[in-house]
């Protein structure tokens, strides 16, 4: 699983491509840009200025999302309790060796990452961080049940490449760890993922595109645990799903990924879903794409 190819993205930041998954860790438009637009900005971190927050980073990878989070919290003197889940140490090894990556952040971020790599943890008066190595489906159970998260970042490879972290069963475990008004944030606008999160009782929002282009109709998804519109403040980075996106959830693309045992292979999960899609009477995803003039490359479902 640990074979990677270095990728220089258009904004000058570095990423990797997984040979095993045949997929890049980030958009070629920019690894740093993607992190800022799809994770950091929707987090509304100013809400926690001078306060303490709990964050779960699922599929830590190179560490862009956690690094950006830490960098912002250092500036605003917030306290953080961070848990991260990751199966492979090689991407973090790469980040620690890459001077360009480390120069993006406050020097303290490097100290934290080095400690996470060596000791699986870091702690000082402001930050307490733990990195749990292994299959996320197992390691999520290691997190104390009393810990609930204000933010959960879900940044695994796309559902079609790595369905293990996008199934009903895993997402059910994940969403139970959200605080009331907690945000689950992911780059994915997959109908299967969105429909699953909605069925689990979360309010679904789309991260607004930063490009005025129909191929960028969404930058991802924010799901709020116990949505209370009276407590919710207007957000500049995400909004309710459009009619087009709501119709996406009525197509065969919305059929969920399933993994009842929480140890199935990606091949088995994908095979069972394809079988269910073939038997389904839902509208074909192609018909939805044709109606709205979408291309297959415009989204990952």
Per-residue pLDDT of the chain (301 residues; tens, 9 = 90+): 469 999 999 999 999 999 999 999 998 889 999 999 999 999 999 999 999 999 999 999 999 999 999 999 999 999 999 999 999 999 999 999 999 999 999 999 999 999 999 999 999 999 999 999 999 999 999 999 999 999 999 999 999 999 999 999 999 999 999 998 899 999 999 999 999 999 999 999 999 876 544 456 788 999 998 777 776 666 778 899 999 999 999 999 999 999 999 999 999 999 999 999 999 999 999 999 999 887 654 444 4
Cα distance between residue 67 and residue 292, in whole Å: 37
Contact at 8 Å (CB) between 84 and 131? yes
pLDDT given at position 236: 78
Cα distance between residue 97 and residue 87, in whole Å: 19
Is 11 within the bounds of a domain? no
Is 202 within the bounds of a domain? yes
CATH number of the domain to which 233 belongs: 3.40.50.150
Is 301 within the bounds of a domain? no
Burial class (CB in 10 A: 0-12, 13-18, 19+), 238: buried
Q: How far is CA 213 from the centre of its chain?
A: 23
Burial class (CB in 10 A: 0-12, 13-18, 19+), 121: middle
Is 19 within the bounds of a domain? no
Is 24 within the bounds of a domain? no
Is 68 within the bounds of a domain? yes
**Total of domains in the chain:** 1
- Return the residue matching tokens 């475990």: 173
Is 107 within the bounds of a domain? yes
Is 20 within the bounds of a domain? no
pLDDT given at position 218: 82
Range of the domain at 257: 30-293
Strand order in the sheet with 4-8: 4-8, 14-18, 23-24
pTM: 0.94
Size (the chain), residues? 301
């Amino acid at each position: 699983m640990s074979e990677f190819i270095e990728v220089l993205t258009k904004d000058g930041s570095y990423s990797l491509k997984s040979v095993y998954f045949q997929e890049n860790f980030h958009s070629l438009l920019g690894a740093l840009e993607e992190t800022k637009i799809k994770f950091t900005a929707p987090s509304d971190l100013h809400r926690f200025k001078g306060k303490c927050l709990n964050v779960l980073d699922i599929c830590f990878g190179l560490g862009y999302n956690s690094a950006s989070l830490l960098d912002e919290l250092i500036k605003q003197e917030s306290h953080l309790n961070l848990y991260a889940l990751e199966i492979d140490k090689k991407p973090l090894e790469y980040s620690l060796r890459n001077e360009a990556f480390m120069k993006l952040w406050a020097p303290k971020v490097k100290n934290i990452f080095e400690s996470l790599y060596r000791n699986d943890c870091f702690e000082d008066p402001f930050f307490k961080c733990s990195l749990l190595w292994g299959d996320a489906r197992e390691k999520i159970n290691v997190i104390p049940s009393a810990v609930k998260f204000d933010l959960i970042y879900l940044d695994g490879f796309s559902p079609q490449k790595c369905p293990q972290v996008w199934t009903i069963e895993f997402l059910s475990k994940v969403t139970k760890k959200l605080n009331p008004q907690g945000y689950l944030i992911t780059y994915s606008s997959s109908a299967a993922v969105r429909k699953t999160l909605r069925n689990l009782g979360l309010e679904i929002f789309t991260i607004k595109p930063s490009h005025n282009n129909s191929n960028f109709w969404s930058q991802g998804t924010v799901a709020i645990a116990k949505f209370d519109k009276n407590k919710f403040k207007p957000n500049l980075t995400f909004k309710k799903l459009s009619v087009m996106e709501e119709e996406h959830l009525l197509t065969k693309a919305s059929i969920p990924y399933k993994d009842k045992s929480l140890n199935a292979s990606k091949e088995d999960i994908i095979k069972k879903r394809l079988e269910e899609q073939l038997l389904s009477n839902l509208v074909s995803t192609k018909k939805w794409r044709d109606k709205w003039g979408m291309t297959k490359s415009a989204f990952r479902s």
